[in-house]
Amino acid sequence: MSHDPSCLFCKIVAGQIPSRKAYEDEEILVFHDIHPWAPVHLLIIPKLHIATLADISEEQHAALLGRMTALAPRLMREAAVTNGFRTVINCGADGGQEVYHLHMHVMGGPRPWAKG
């Protein structure tokens, strides 16, 4: 499924739910987390609906995952985060995933943080 009409992040991709965007291209969207754990807390998502990290295939999605990861340092630099940052991908129930559309949390800024 490339788009799931019942998925929160697909609705954000489609513009049906507002978000504070930080970056967008043909296959990736980045927006600010609505409940940030850190002074800067971005979510990097593929526009394509992929439910979890367990649903990716190396053949199909390695380049996409590579691009998502490579964006993290660039976006942190653009957000003036200069002292390191944290990336997290929660996967599935035991991984604590709440929104079932693949996303990479990228968090930075001076500590203490609310969480993490």
Active site residues: 103
The piece of 26-34, 46-54, 60-68, 77-85 that touches ligand AMP (CB under 6 A) is 26-34
Contact 42, 103 (CB under 8 A): no
Beta bridge pairs of residue 72: none
The piece of 28-36, 61-69, 73-81, 106-114 that touches ligand AMP (CB under 6 A) is 28-36
Q: Is 59 in the site for ligand AMP (CB under 6 A)?
A: no
> How many Å apart are CA 105 and CA 43, to the nearest integer?
5
Out of 14, 17, 54, 114, the only residue in the binding site for ligand AMP (CB under 6 A) is: 17
3-state secondary structure of 54: helix
Q: Is 94 in the site for ligand AMP (CB under 6 A)?
A: no
Residue 30 tokens read as 């980045």
Out of 40, 45, 46, 49, the only residue in the binding site for Zn ion (CB under 5 A) is: 49
Closer residue to ligand AMP, CB minimum distance, 42 or 81:
42
Residue 92 tokens read as 């599935």
Q: Which residue is listed with tokens 């996409």? A: 64
